[in-house]
Amino acid sequence: MRLSAKVEYGVRAMAILAIYYQGDPVPLRQIAEQEQISLKFLEQIFPDLKRVELVTSVRGSRGGYRLMRPPEEIRVGDIVRAVEGPITPVNCLAEGDDDSCCHRRGACLTRQVWARLRDKINDVLDDVTLDELVEVSAGKE
């Protein structure tokens, strides 16, 4: 029951972008240094964030990334799902697998628990916005 490093880094990076919201785009190099994350690894993560239109990019010198929406309209769940795909605690809950597991008795009994778990995880992650995440350090720069 662990999140990938990609997700962890992605959320941290987005938190940085939220701090520097309004202002020049932030280059990945800067995030990499501040958060001690490999630049090349960050470069793999941001296409996912761009694809779902959470960020926009500015190419070239003095370019970088910025949030596409204000921090209070971006939820942690959006980031997690963008980077890692939909939350599926067990295979059985992935799409197209609706009844393939239910000829076994125990599988069907437990299925609803996993579905509920999935829903609650999404709830928790969707309950927190980037704004709330960084407000504790508001004004620190």
Partner DNA sequence: GCAATACCCGAGTTGTTTAGTCGGAATTAA
Partner DNA sequence: TTAATTCCGACTAAACAACTCGGGTATTGC
| Residue 14 buriedness (CB in 10 A; 0-12 / 13-18 / 19+) | buried
- From candidates 22, 59, 112, 140, binder to DNA by CB under 7 A: 59
- From candidates 6, 25, 27, 35, binder to a second copy by CB under 8 A: 35
- From candidates 80, 96, 97, 98, binder to a second copy by CB under 8 A: 80
Only one residue has tokens 């779902």, namely 52
| 71 CB neighbour count, 10 Å cutoff | 19
Identity of the residue, 52 or 109, whose beta carbon is nearer to a second copy in the bound complex: 109
- The distance in angstroms from the start CA to the end CA of the chain is 35
Phi first, then psi, for residue 79 (nearest 5°) are: -70, -50
- Give contact residues for a second copy (rule: CB under 8 A): 1-3, 8, 11-13, 15-16, 34-36, 76, 80, 84, 87-90, 92, 104-107, 109-110, 113-114, 116-117, 120-121, 123-125, 128, 133-134, 136-137
